[in-house]
């Protein structure tokens, strides 16, 4: 069983929902991310989505765009992100790590080369924003051979047919994009999310993580009641951006927000 | 392979290139667009409305002009110019925006968005949006807003909102990123008019089909004027829409050389250029697989060209395919060479070309003398140079 499947099974038994933070690897500096990952685990997160910086993050709002720019300014890359994940794994064998990014860095490395490197780094899942199932079967198969899950996005306008397709090809969990828009966009509508989740859950047995628009503990609590996991990204990265002159403070604000979310979700 | 050319396949692939590499939220609108495009492409009513617009609004057919003096001066092949600069709004871009706007209207979309580099596509989009009474937002890199201020003013006059994009390299690729972000946010009422043969399927094929009127006319005009097909076609390539529009109807005519001219900027060796076909590598950007300017890590490299319309790190996937199969040749012209082409056409023929088209002129100056006098070149004069007057005057130290 993959580390992601085991994690969701364990959470299910405990009646808990997964708290899934997204941070961009190497933002604002390459040294910042590794200790942050460990502290996030201590704060009670269940899965870590590690963003691979890309020069042209088309599905991201300004907050995550700037995170990519800061990381790239320090020459962060897919190779270095994998090295970071491998380093994390040396002292943490429990927390699943999912790489989230865009296709071109993987194209540059080559699909097979990437799959091998991800296996060596003991990565658990890969979410490639601009690789829909129509184009992604080959890559998903290479990852599956290496027991790495491929995580697909679902959107408010995804049809039954597409949800079925993602459910078949994807594993680990499905990531529901709660609103039409980019990351960090306006507030999500809980009633809309609830209706869509009913449709999705009727089709798939995979866990569903919900993201885009989760800003605070209150939203996290509401969203936790609708799916199997809550993904929070831009709200965390804003803490980095607002404290670039005091990174200890950035880290403590991130941990503070995640702890508040954890508490609200468990209540 | 060119005997029966029927690219792309049903999922938008030109061999390994093209495709549909977008985030999930964009899949439904792209499928909706593809269905509409497949349907109306065969709809006689749609086609006759499009043809009427091309004739009466755009001013087609555009002339094929025999550049007699310039041909004599260069002493080789006879040079003919396909005068897309004479279209309404001053470039070939309007051929495509008229077509996509008619599609938008039939699909019931009320809001139009576009990206633009030099501003020619933005102007052509704002123009058709004004005519149809549709809201229009144009994304343009902040660098391009500064160097093409005349076109920014034209778009505003036409009622469009021009958004200066401050992210990344602040040029065309970033404008495209921002337009995609807008589209993903407003998919329900918004039609995204992409200006070049890039983007996810069906854009590369659809934009090509709307631009292919250039090549169809040129072919007939060659037969009428010279009684034969040309020996070579020359067109500049940024995203590659004017080039594919000229090339496409000739792909199966193997005797016709197809030559695309990329922007070499400060020179290929300098690294400051916009020539992915000549010096790039395959990858995925903006919804399709094609040749890109990217580094070893797959990050997109900032490009350079004197012409904002060629300043793009990718190129249409069909060009990537035509390059790999050897059907088309891709060459490059530096900023300085393009300027020579600009001045040559202006002074020899009394036609001021756009700086983009000047790249095609500059290559023609190299090519024509190597060919016989009974041979024939058709060069796509894709746009007129009015928009570049400030850039040119500034280079000459003149304040306008």
pLDDT in tens, A143-172: 999 999 999 999 999 999 999 999 999 999
The answer to whether A132 contacts B22, with C-beta atoms less than 8 Å apart, is yes
- The number of CA neighbours under 13 Å toward the Cβ of A183 is 31
CATH class belonging to A3-266: alpha beta
A105, A130, A181: residue with CB nearest B298: A105
3-state secondary structure of B21: strand
Q: How confident is the model at residue A186 (pLDDT cuts 50, 70, 90)?
A: confident
Residue of A nearest to B183 (CA): A181
Residues of B in contact with A152 (CB under 8 A): 24
At B1 the pLDDT is 46
Calpha distance B11→B20 (Å, rounded): 8
Q: How confident is the model at residue A55 (pLDDT cuts 50, 70, 90)?
A: very high
- Its ipTM equals 0.95
Q: What is the pLDDT of residues A135-150, one digit of tens each?
A: 999 999 999 999 999 9
Q: Which domains does chain B have, with CATH numbers?
A: 13-54+93-204 (3.40.50.1100), 60-90+208-395 (3.40.50.1100)
Q: What is the pLDDT of residues B286-335, one digit of tens each?
A: 999 999 999 999 999 999 999 989 999 999 999 999 999 999 999 999 99
What average pLDDT values come out for chain B (400 residues) when binned by 10 residues?
82 98 94 96 97 98 98 98 98 98 96 94 97 97 90 97 93 93 93 97 98 98 98 98 98 98 98 97 98 97 92 96 98 98 98 98 98 98 94 92
Q: Do the strands B64-66 and B78-83 form a parallel or antiparallel pair, or are they unpaired?
A: antiparallel
Residue of A nearest to B166 (CA): A62
At A121 the pLDDT is 98
At A249 the pLDDT is 98
The answer to whether A57 contacts B177, with C-beta atoms less than 8 Å apart, is yes
The answer to whether A55 contacts B300, with C-beta atoms less than 8 Å apart, is yes
Question: Is B170 designated active site?
Answer: no
The answer to whether B300 contacts A104, with C-beta atoms less than 8 Å apart, is yes
pTM: 0.96
> Percent of chain A beyond pLDDT 70?
100
Question: Per-residue pLDDT for A185 more than 80?
Answer: no
Residues of A in contact with B25 (CB under 8 A): 59, 153, 155-157, 177, 180-181
3-state secondary structure of A93: coil
Question: What is the DSSP-derived secondary structure letter of residue B105?
Answer: H
Q: What is the pLDDT of residues B125-144, one digit of tens each?
A: 999 999 999 999 999 999 99
The answer to whether A103 contacts B21, with C-beta atoms less than 8 Å apart, is yes
Is-contact B194 B26, C-beta < 8 A?
no
Residues of B in contact with A55 (CB under 8 A): 168, 299-300
For residue A207, the Cα-to-chain-centroid distance in whole angstroms is: 14
DSSP string covering A205-249: -S-EEEESS--SHHHHHHHHTTSSEEEE-HHHHHHHHTTTT-HHH
Segments making up each domain of chain A, as ranges: 3-266
Residues of B in contact with A132 (CB under 8 A): 20-24, 27
Residues of B in contact with A180 (CB under 8 A): 25, 184-188
The answer to whether B27 contacts A181, with C-beta atoms less than 8 Å apart, is no
Question: From the candidates B18, B23, B281, B317, which should be mutated to test the interface with A, based on the most A CB atoms within 10 A?
Answer: B23
Question: What mean pLDDT value characterizes chain B?
Answer: 96
Residue of A nearest to B13 (CA): A135
For residue A90, the Cα-to-chain-centroid distance in whole angstroms is: 20
- The number of CA neighbours under 13 Å toward the Cβ of B128 is 32
Residue of A nearest to B299 (CA): A55
Residues with Cβ within 8 Å of residue B108, at least 6 apart in sequence: none
Question: From the candidates A100, A107, A128, which should be mutated to test the interface with B, based on the most B CB atoms within 10 A?
Answer: A107
Question: Per-residue pLDDT for A45 more than 50?
Answer: yes
Q: What is the pLDDT of residues B346-368, one digit of tens each?
A: 999 999 999 999 999 999 999 99
The answer to whether A152 contacts B286, with C-beta atoms less than 8 Å apart, is no
Cross-sheet strand order for the sheet of B190-192 = B161-165, B135-141, B111-116, B190-192
Helices H / strands E in chain A, number of each: 12, 9
What angle do helix axes B335-349 and B355-367 make, rounded to 10 degrees? 80
At B3 the pLDDT is 64
């Amino acid at each position: 069983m993959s580390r992601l499947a085991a994690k969701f099974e364990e959470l299910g038994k405990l009646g808990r929902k997964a708290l899934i933070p997204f941070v961009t690897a190497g933002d604002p500096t390459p040294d910042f991310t590794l200790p942050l990952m460990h502290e996030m685990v201590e704060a009670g997160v269940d899965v870590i989505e590690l963003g691979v910086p890309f020069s042209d993050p088309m599905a991201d709002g300004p907050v995550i765009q700037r995170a990519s720019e800061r990381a790239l300014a320090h020459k962060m890359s897919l190779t270095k992100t994998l090295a970071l994940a491998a380093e994390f794994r040396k002292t943490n064998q429990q927390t699943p790590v999912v790489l989230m990014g865009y296709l071109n860095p993987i194209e540059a490395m080559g699909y097979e080369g990437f799959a091998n490197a991800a296996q060596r780094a003991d990565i658990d899942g890969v979410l490639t924003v601009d690789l829909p199932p129509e184009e992604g079967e080959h890559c998903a198969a290479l990852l599956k051979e290496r027991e790495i899950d491929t995580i697909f996005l679902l959107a408010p306008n995804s049809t039954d047919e597409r949800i079925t397709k993602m459910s078949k090809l994807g594993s680990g969990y499905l990531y529901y994009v709660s609103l039409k828009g980019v990351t960090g966009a306006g507030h999500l509508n809980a009633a809309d999310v609830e209706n869509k989740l009913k449709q999705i859950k009727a089709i798939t047995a995979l866990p569903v993580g919900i993201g885009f628009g989760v800003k605070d503990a209150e939203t996290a609590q509401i969203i936790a009641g609708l799916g199997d996991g809550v993904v929070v990204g831009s709200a965390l990265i804003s803490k980095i951006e607002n404290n670039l002159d005091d990174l200890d403070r950035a880290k403590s604000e991130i941990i503070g927000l995640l702890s508040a979310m954890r508490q609200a979700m468990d209540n | 392979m060119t005997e029966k050319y029927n690219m792309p396949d049903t999922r938008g692939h030109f061999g390994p290139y093209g495709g549909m590499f977008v985030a999930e939220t964009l899949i439904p609108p792209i499928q909706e667009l593809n269905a509409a495009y497949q349907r109306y492409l065969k709809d006689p009513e749609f086609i006759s409305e499009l043809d009427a617009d091309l004739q009466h609004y755009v001013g087609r057919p555009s002339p094929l002009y025999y550049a007699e003096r310039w041909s004599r001066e260069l002493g080789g092949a006879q040079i003919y110019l396909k005068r897309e600069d004479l279209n309404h709004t001053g470039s070939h871009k309007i051929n495509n925006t008229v077509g996509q706007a008619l599609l938008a209207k039939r699909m019931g979309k009320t809001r139009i968005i576009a990206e633009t580099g030099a501003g020619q596509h933005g102007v052509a989009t704002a123009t058709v949006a004004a005519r149809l009474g549709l809201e229009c937002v144009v994304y343009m890199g902040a660098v391009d807003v500064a160097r093409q201020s005349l076109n920014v003013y034209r778009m505003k006059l036409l009622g469009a909102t021009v958004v200066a994009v401050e992210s990344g390299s602040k040029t065309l690729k970033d404008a495209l990123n921002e337009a995609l972000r807008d589209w993903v946010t407003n998919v329900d009422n918004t039609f995204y008019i992409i200006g070049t043969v890039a983007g996810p399927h069906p854009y590369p094929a659809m934009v090509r089909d709307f631009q292919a009127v250039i090549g169809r006319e040129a072919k007939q005009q060659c037969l009428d004027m010279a009684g034969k097909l040309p020996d070579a076609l020359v067109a500049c390539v940024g995203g590659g829409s004017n080039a594919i529009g000229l090339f496409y109807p000739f792909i199966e005519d193997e005797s016709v050389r197809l030559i695309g001219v990329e922007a070499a900027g400060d020179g290929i060796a300098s690294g400051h250029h916009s020539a992915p076909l000549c010096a790039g590598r395959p990858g995925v950007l903006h919804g399709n697989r094609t040749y890109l300017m990217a580094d070893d890590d797959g990050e997109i490299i900032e490009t350079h060209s004197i012409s904002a319309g060629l300043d793009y790190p990718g190129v249409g996937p069909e060009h990537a395919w035509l390059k790999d199969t050897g059907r088309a040749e891709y060459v490059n012209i530096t900023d300085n060479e393009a300027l020579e082409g600009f001045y040559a056409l202006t002074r020899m023929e009394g036609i001021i070309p756009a700086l983009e088209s000047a790249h095609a002129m500059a290559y023609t100056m190299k090519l024509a003398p190597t060919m016989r006098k009974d041979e024939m070149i058709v060069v796509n004069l894709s746009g007129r140079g009015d928009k570049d007057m400030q850039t040119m005057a500034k280079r000459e130290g003149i304040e306008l």
